[in-house]
Amino acid sequence: MPIPMRIIPNDHGVLTLPAYAILDNMLNVPERDYRTFEEMCSFFPKDEPSTVRNALTELKDEKYVIIIHGNTYAVNKLRIPNMKLR
């Protein structure tokens, strides 16, 4: 069985592990490319909401995600061409 392709950010070391995990989830699970803060918390139930909030803020600051409609976060698709497929 072929291994599915994954989108991998090129700039390792820029993101914390929680931010990287959320970005990986948003990039590689198509139905999760945009979600609210509350939905993200439900995907990572073992993490404190503050951890998820800090990771999303980090991703926003690094321009990996954008905020749409209040508390809904979406992948910044303009960043995807600068990432690797593996």
What DSSP string describes 33-74? SEEEHHHHHHHSTTS-HHHHHHHHHHHHHTTSEEEETTTEEE
The whole-number pLDDT of residue 8 equals 78
pLDDT of residue 37: 93
Nearest to 16 by CA among 47, 42, 45: 47
Question: What's the rounded mean pLDDT across residues 63-74?
Answer: 90
Is the pTM higher than 0.85? no
Considering the chain, what is the average pLDDT of its residues? 85
What are the sequence ranges of the domains in the chain? 20-77
pLDDT band at 58 (very low <50, low <70, confident <90, very high): very high
Q: Give the C-alpha distances (Å, rounded to integers) separating 44 from 3, 39, 62, 83.
A: 24, 9, 21, 24
Question: The domain 20-77: what is its CATH number?
Answer: 1.10.10.10
Is 59 a residue whose pLDDT tops 90? yes
Q: For residue 47, what pLDDT is reported?
A: 94
Where does residue 49 fall: left (phi above 0), alpha (psi -120 to 50 degrees), or beta otherwise?
alpha
